[in-house]
Structure 1
Amino acid sequence: MLGLPDGTRACLFDLDGVLTDTASVHAAAWKQMFDEYLRARAEREGTPFRAFDIATDYAAYVDGKPRMAGTDSFLRSRGIELPEGGPDDAPDADTVYALATRKNALVQEKIVTVGVEVYPGSVRYLHAVKDAGLATAVVSSSANAGQVLEVAGLAHLIDHRVDGVTAKERGLPGKPAPDTFLAAAADLGVGKDEAVVFEDALAGVASGKAGGFGFVVGVDRLGQAEALRAHGADIVVTDLADLLGGKP
């Protein structure tokens, strides 16, 4: 038993925070990048330095969103508006693009040096899903999802991937828009009412709800169960293994 509605044919998993603990790697990278920028800005302007707070800022502004959107969202929360910029920006440029690029470089460095932890309950659940004959996809805002799946040893359990690279290639808006999840379901050849979304981020849960999927599972890693329900989760669990042997 997988704890899913009858008629489910596919499981669409977010990666960071659902299957792997790369959410902590991403959070650390966001904090390092933002703190370096905010500290330099405060020194330049002679204003107090206020650090990026993982406990509050990560979930509210960047978790689950594409890098550019997350970068801009947090900066605006501090009253900072920067030009968008582009690929030709110098690494130290004061643009959203440059800051987002710095964050990505830090993530890639940490994946190699720190590694990727997987949630054992998620691995058990993935095996059960595959044994049941259901299709699987990872739907992630990260451009590093393929690398993370390989490093984590999960690639063989995933049939399809729609990630930040795919979204850019296809012009798909990121979460909380439902387009990446809808694309994954279509690529797998299943209807949205036959697919279940698994998300730990508020933006991701909202994406699943907006897409009209058959069921949305919220995975509470940050003590935000009520917020996940408010954003559209049909059920909230603390670990995917909690679903084994149960019905929704």
Structure 2
Amino acid sequence: MARGSAPVTLDGVSAVVVEVDGVAVDTGPLHAAAWKRTFDEVLRERARGRGGRFHPFDLRCDYRLMSGMSPPEAARAFAASRDGDPTTGPLLVADDGDEDVARLWDRKDRYYLDSLRTVGTAAWGPTVALLSALQAQGIATAAVSCDRGAAATVQATGMTGLFDAVVDGRVAEGLMTAEERHAAVLTETGARLGLGPRCTAVLLSSAPAVRAARRLGFRLIVAVDRYAAGNGTPQSALLAAWSGADAVVSDPAELTTPGAAHAP
């Protein structure tokens, strides 16, 4: 959290919901690698068929373009960025592109799950500690993602026992934008926990998720920004960047559980 900011406490909440990607688990490298493998295959095939030069997916520039997007938005955004490349031609060619997007997304998910099994990733230690403390105090916990690999990720990182519910983007099929998908996932999470947003805190690492949570009226919305929030950026500037958040922290360890807050 920015220096000089007051501690963020979880007083008065009956449930805490955390976003899998970026809050519970460091999945960014696996997602990036899965998109690169997916698009490099397509781009290489197109270049070979047209006799042109293969221009690979760039992990720095191209993946940054996808930041905060849902998988279908990300696929469309990258395809649009290559529309002017005569080497490949249009990457989405079937009618409105929905079928092509679906195929790309399915392939990306297969590669993500493959990397999850073969390379692996790790849960964030402070998040695990926070979830354990919340469970000890009888506070419900849930993991969410607008992507489709949340349950597999939670299981692979040994976090299954830390959540009362795990809800992913499978409940948001047919929805395109990240904000719409997050809203559907968060609504379903409340239904599974049997708790409304007014008694629930959410810890989120993507701007669309924060906007969706604000629209749904959650009691406390905390943005987890492991980069900007850890560099001494004033909380006012962080809140301006994370529109809709009540607080911005660099790590869930900065949050105070009700029991700790009331300890002498």
User: What TM-score, normalized by structure 1, do the two folds share?
Assistant: 0.80
State the partner residue of 2:255: 243
SS in 2 for 1:12: strand
What one-letter code is carried by the residue in structure 2 that aligns with 1:131? A
Distance 1:148 1:74 in 2: 25
The answer to whether residue 245 in structure 2 is matched with residue 233 in structure 1 is: yes
* 8 A contact 2:223–2:242 mirrored in 1: no
Identity of aligned residues (%): 33
Runs of 5+ unmatched residues, structure 1: 87-94
Instruction: Summarize the alignment of residues 40-119 of structure 1 with structure 2, pairs less than 5 Å apart.
Output: 40-42=45-47, 44=49, 51-61=56-66, 63=68, 65=70, 67-79=71-83, 80=90, 82=92, 83=94, 84-86=97-99, 95-119=100-124
Question: Relative to structure 1, is the Cα distance of residues 232 and 220 closer, same or farther in structure 2, using a 3 angstrom cutoff?
Answer: same
Farther off after superposition, 33-42 or 18-27: 33-42
SS in 2 for 1:216: strand
* 8 A contact 1:64–1:202 mirrored in 2: no
SS in 2 for 1:17: helix
State the partner residue of 1:176: 179
Q: CA deviation at 1:129?
A: 1.5
Note the aligned Cα RMSD (angstroms): 2.9
What one-letter code is carried by the residue in structure 1 that aligns with 2:254? D
What one-letter code is carried by the residue in structure 2 that aligns with 1:193? R
State the partner residue of 2:4: none
Q: CA deviation at 1:149?
A: 1.2
* 8 A contact 1:192–1:211 mirrored in 2: yes
Distance 1:231 1:38 in 2: 36
State the partner residue of 1:203: 208
Distance 1:42 1:227 in 2: 44
Question: Relative to structure 1, is the Cα distance of residues 58 and 201 closer, same or farther in structure 2, using a 3 angstrom cutoff?
Answer: farther
* 8 A contact 2:38–2:104 mirrored in 1: yes
SS in 2 for 1:100: helix
State the partner residue of 2:86: none
Q: CA deviation at 1:41?
A: 3.7
1:56-111 deviation line (CA, Å, top 9, x unaligned):
5435425462x32321233234445613354xxxxxxxx21221121111111101
Runs of 5+ unmatched residues, structure 2: 1-6, 84-89
* 8 A contact 1:31–1:54 mirrored in 2: yes
1:111-166 deviation line (CA, Å, top 9, x unaligned):
11001211111111111121221111111123222221111111011001221223
What one-letter code is carried by the residue in structure 2 that aligns with 1:69? E
Distance 1:228 1:125 in 2: 26
Distance 2:24 2:117 in 1: 18
Aligned length: 235
Q: Find 1:129's aligned residue among 115, 134, 145.
A: 134
* 8 A contact 1:202–1:227 mirrored in 2: no
What one-letter code is carried by the residue in structure 2 that aligns with 1:176? E
